[in-house]
Structure 1
Amino acid sequence: MQGFDIVAGGQLAALPAFREKFGVLQPDGTYLIPARYLSAWNSIAPATEIVATFIFVPLLERFGRKWGILAASLISVAGVLLQQLAPDWRMHLAGRGVNGFAIGMMFTISPLWIGETCRPELRGFFLCFFNTSIVFGQFAIVVVSQGSSHITGVWQWWLPVVAMYFFPLLLTLIWPIFPESPYWLVRHNRPTDAKKALRRIYGFKETEFYDIEVTRMEEEIRITSDLHGHIEQRPPRRFLGMDVELELECFGATNRKRTFTAIFAASAQQMIGATFVIGYATYFFELIGIQNYFAASVALYVVMLCASTAAFPLTEMFGRRFLIVGPQFMLCLMLLIIGILGCVPDKARASWGIVAILYVWAVIYQLSIGATGFVLASEIATMRLRAATQGLITITNSAWGLIMQFTVPYMINPDAGDLGGKVGFIFLGTGLIASVGGWYLFPETKGLSFEKMDELYALKVPPRQFGKVAAEAGTGHIVPELKVATAHHSEQAEADTQPERV
């Protein structure tokens, strides 16, 4: 749903019927989509994703995860319908904004539910699949646009838009059988419902398995409460009627580093050039003079889909930090080469060189920060703050998307910057910030339970030392004294709140 929408703007702009419908007639008889149209279309969705997150996250924490799927589906249908029937570019803009609201809801629910449902040894695999589903959406819109390019008339651009109905239809069909998050149910003192949800997820007949899983979740919740104090007893802070206690707590002394790490892991994707390469590949190939630009972009997305799928086992084999930190610097090198090729006078040869480097960039990106960034961002927060942190991730990721989607058309469009390959220099600057920040912030979380991550952060272990310290500790607690201290803290808190309890 998100991948389809991200790439849709660039794909539609490459279709002659779409340019004729919404573009401006040029002196030579052709139609051009003005940069301000492209900028508005592609930046409105990230903007409404931010609005959706502010409204949605408090409701998500209060009422659970499941209800938001059906709500997002209905909103998405309305957004796609507005795009399809738009008489002018402003109505099409409104439709993209409404659909962006639905995407913001699902972008928050999906990784949150995966992180809360999967066992530690499977989190990386399924969070990688979250990224692969986005890449599949990008691949799908390119294939649909390639097919519709051979159609004449209104269906040339209607077909890619109408194809977006598939996503809310699929979500609506699975909604009745979709289980609620077991972690959320346990946290809200509904262990029986949590066992029912787990039974739907796993399908095992042995009731002992579900008893053990619920007990494990309760223990992790208890340890987290001990490490961070019994903060549930604090009065909520409200702003414009919205409870912002959890969001403020994310930036407290105890959780600040984890929050910035999660935000940085997701934002690094935008900073290192994902919007440019993924969102505007087809349109950019056309602008730099590639004859078969649709075929070149289809091949690019096939390569990215294969690379993203290959990241499934690599995440659990080599870990998160290994797959992110080093490859980010390699991506920066690719951007530097693209920028240099953009300065070459022989545009024809340089264009094919840029395409080749973009293919290499795409493979490295999907094997590293593209797939693993979502994994790290979604599993780093403490349990109590996971929904609030995922909301902040959505907000900051959308903010970066808003900036990039607004500025990239002005960078590459002929009636604006017309930078060509020199746009690589711009993303080299932001990419280096992401790479250096990742070196200091990104921990190794492969196979770590949420409980053990809480202990490592509580002990102020440097993130780049997480893997080493966890390996030395084995399967037990990192420091035995920490368990004793948290147990004493829990007993003392119970004694203070329940003095007559035997």
Structure 2
Amino acid sequence: MQGFDIVAGGQLAALPAFKEKFGVLQDNGSYLIPAHYLSAWNSIAPATEIVATFIFAPLLEKYGRKWGILAASLISAAGVVLQQLAPDWRMHLAGRGVNGIAIGMMFTISPLWIGETCRPELRGFFLCFFNTSIVFGQFAIVVVSQGSSHISGKWQWWLPIVAMYIFPLILTVAWPFFPESPYWLVRQGKREEAKKALRRIYGFEEQGFYEIEASRLEEEIRLTSDLHGNVESRPPRRILGVNVQLEAECFDATNRKRTLTAIFAASAQQMIGATFVIGYATYFFELIGISNYFAASMALYAVMLAASMSAFPLTEIYGRRFLIVGPQFALCFMLLIIGILGCVPDKTKASWGIVALLYVWALIYQLSIGATGFVLASEIATSRLRATTQGLITITNSVWGLIMQFTVPYMINPDAGNLGGKVGFIFLGTGLMAGIGGWYLFPETKGLSFEKLDELYAMNVPPRFFKKVVAEGMSGSNAGELVDKEKAIAENHL
């Protein structure tokens, strides 16, 4: 749902029938979609995601995860209807906004449910699959748009929109068979229901397994409660009548670093330029003069899909931090080269150089922060605040999406900035911030239980030393000595 929607704006903007329907007639007889139309269409979904998630995330904690899937399906279908039948650009805008509400809900539920259901040794694998499903949606909209580009009339732009119905349809059909989060059920004191949910998830005959799993979840909840004290008895905090007690807890002294790390891991994807490369590839290829721009973008998304699937085993073999920190600086280097090529006078040769670099950029991105960023963001939060933290991740990611979706059209559109490849310089700046922040904030979480993460953060171990501390079984004082030693080495170099 999210992958399809992110890329849909750029794909539709490249279709002649869509331009004729919603664009403005130019002096040369062609149609151009104004930059403020594109900005509005592509920023409305992140905006509605922010509002919806602020309201929706607390309800997940109170009523569970499953009900939100059906609600999101119905809302998404309504949004697609509005887009399909829109007589003008404003109605199309409303449809994208309504669909954004559904996407925000599912974007919060999916990684939350995966993180709460999978055992530690499988969590990374399935959270990578979450990212791959987004990339598959991006690839699917490019394929559909390529096919519809050969159709004349309104079905040229209707087909990509009508294809969106498949997502709420699948979710609605599958909803009766979808189990509730066993972790949430245990937290609510519904142990037997949790065991039934586990049986539906795993399908094993051995009843002892489910007793052990339920006990493991109970122990995890108890340890978290011991570390954080009796938080249930604290008085509620309200903003505009909404209880924000859990949100406030996310930013108290105990949880602040974890919350900021989870938010930063997801936000780094936007900071490194994902919206530009993924959301506007087809439209950008057209603007820089690539003749067969649909074929070029199809190949780009095929590369990303293959790379994202390759990240499945890599995240469990090499770990999260290894796959994020170094590659982020490699992505920044390529953005620098893209920016330099944007300054080359020979636009034809420079354009093909930019395309080649975007392919390499997409490959590295999907093998690293694209896939593993979701894994890390979903693992960091303490168990009690996992739903709330995931809601904050969605909100912050949507804020970044809102900024990027609003500004990128003005950067690249001919009637606005018309930057071409020089847009690489802009994302180089934000990408460097993401890389430097990741070096200090991102821990290695491969194979660690949530209880172990709680313990490491409670010991105030710097995140970059998690792997070393776990491997050597250090105490809190030993970890402190490690930090002091690193500082001394740095001072000697200076």
Same fold (TM over 0.5): yes
Q: Which deviates the most, 105-114 or 232-241?
A: 232-241
* Cα deviation 1:391-436 (Å, max 9, x = unaligned): 1000000000000000000000000000000000000000000000
SS for the counterpart of 1:343 is coil
Equivalent residue for 1:436? 436
Q: How does 1:15-414 map to 2 (within 5 A)?
A: 15-414=15-414
Equivalence for 1:500: none
Please state how far the C-alpha of 1:265 moved relative to its aligned partner: 0.2
Alignment match, 1:499: none
Match of residue 480 from structure 2? none
Query: Equivalents in 1 of 2:463, 2:338: separation in Å?
Result: 32
Superposition deviation, residue 473 in structure 1:
2.4
Aligned equivalents of 2:10, 2:112: Cα separation in 1: 29
| Structure 1 range deviating more: 290-299 or 240-249 | 240-249
> Partners of 2:419 and 2:234 in 1: how far apart?
53
Q: Which amino acid aligns with 1:405?
A: Q
Q: Structure 1 stretch 197-206 or stretch 238-247: which is displaced more?
A: 238-247
Distance in 1 (CA, whole Å) between partners of 2:75 and 2:457 is 39
Whether contact under 8 Å (2:461, 2:476) holds in the other structure is no
* 1-structure distance, mates of 2:210, 2:147: 48
In structure 2, relative to structure 1, the CA distance for the partners of 1:266 and 1:279 (3 Å cut) is same
Task: Give 1:454's aligned residue.
Answer: 454
Structure 2 counterpart SS, 1:446: coil
Local SS of the residue matching 1:146: helix
Counterparts of 2:58 and 2:401, CA distance in 1:
23
Partner of 1:415: 415
CA distance in 1, matches of 2:54, 2:321: 30
In 1, distance between residues paired with 2:305 and 2:199?
Answer: 32
Per-residue CA shift, 1:118-162, capped at 9, x if unaligned? 000000000000000000000000000000000000000000000
How much has 1:89 moved relative to structure 2?
Answer: 0.1
**Displacement of 1:479:** 7.0
Structure 2 residues not aligned, in runs of 5+: 478-494
In structure 2, give the amino acid aligned to 1:219. Answer: E
1:376 to partner: Cα distance: 0.2
Q: CA deviation at 1:103?
A: 0.3
- Secondary structure of the corresponding residue to residue 6 of structure 2: helix
Distance of 1:49 and 1:2 partners within structure 2: 11
For residues 159-192 of structure 1, give each alpha carbon's deviation from its aligned partner in whole angstroms, at most 9, with x where no partner exists: 0000000000000011000000000000010000
User: Which residue identity does 2:276 align to in structure 1?
Assistant: F
Deviates more, 1:251-260 or 1:234-243: 234-243
Between the aligned partners of 1:479 and 1:240, the Cα distance in structure 2 is 41
- Partners of 1:54 and 1:224 in 2: how far apart? 24
- Determine if contact 2:303/2:359 at 8 Å carries over to the other structure: yes
- 1:16-53 CA-to-partner distances (Å, cap 9, x unmatched) read 00000000000000000000000000000000000110
SS at match of 2:448: coil
What is the alpha-carbon distance in structure 2 between the residues aligned to residue 9 and residue 471 of structure 1? 47
Partner of 1:489: none
Q: How does 1:458-473 map to 2 (within 5 A)?
A: 458-473=458-473
Unaligned runs of 5+ in 1: 481-502
Counterpart-to-counterpart distance in 1, 2:147 and 2:281: 17
Q: In the alignment, which residue of structure 1 is the partner of 2:481?
A: none
1:445 counterpart SS class: coil
Distance 2:155 2:262 in 1: 42
Please tell me the root mean square deviation across aligned C-alpha atoms, in Å: 1.1
Q: How far, CA to CA, are the matches of 2:452 and 2:58 in structure 1? A: 27
Distance 1:240 1:423 in 2: 40
Amino acid corresponding to residue 196 of structure 2 in structure 1 = K
SS in 2 for 1:453: helix
TM-score between the two structures when normalised by the length of structure 2: 0.96
The CA distance in 2 between the partners of 1:237 and 1:392, in whole Å, is: 17
Give, in whole Å, the separation in 1 of the partners of 2:400 and 2:204.
Answer: 43
**Is the 2:135–2:308 contact (alpha carbons within 8 Å) kept by the matching residues of 1?**
yes
Q: Distance in 2 between matches of 1:418 and 1:300?
A: 22
Give the letter aligned to residue 146 of structure 1: Q
Give the C-alpha shift of residue 101 in structure 1. Answer: 0.3
Aligned with 1:365: secondary structure? helix
Task: Assess if the C-alpha contact under 8 Å between 2:282 and 2:297 holds in 1.
Answer: yes
For the residue of structure 1 that corresponds to 2:159, the secondary structure is: helix
Q: Structure 1 residues 465-474 or 423-432, which shifts more? A: 465-474
AA in 1 matched with 2:212: I
Task: Out of 421-430 and 228-237, give the one that drifted further.
Answer: 228-237
- Distance across 2 between alignment mates of 1:472 and 1:173: 49
Displacement, 1:471?
1.4
Indicate the SS of the match to 1:83: helix
Question: 4+ residue stretches of structure 1 with deviation over 3 A?
Answer: none
Letter in 1 for 2:33: I
**Alignment deviations for residues 73-111 of structure 1 (CA, whole Å, 9 cap, x no partner):** 000000000000000000000000000000000000000
Aligned partner of residue 294 in structure 2, secondary structure: helix
Partner of 2:50: helix, strand, or coil? helix
In the other structure, the counterpart of 2:8 is 8
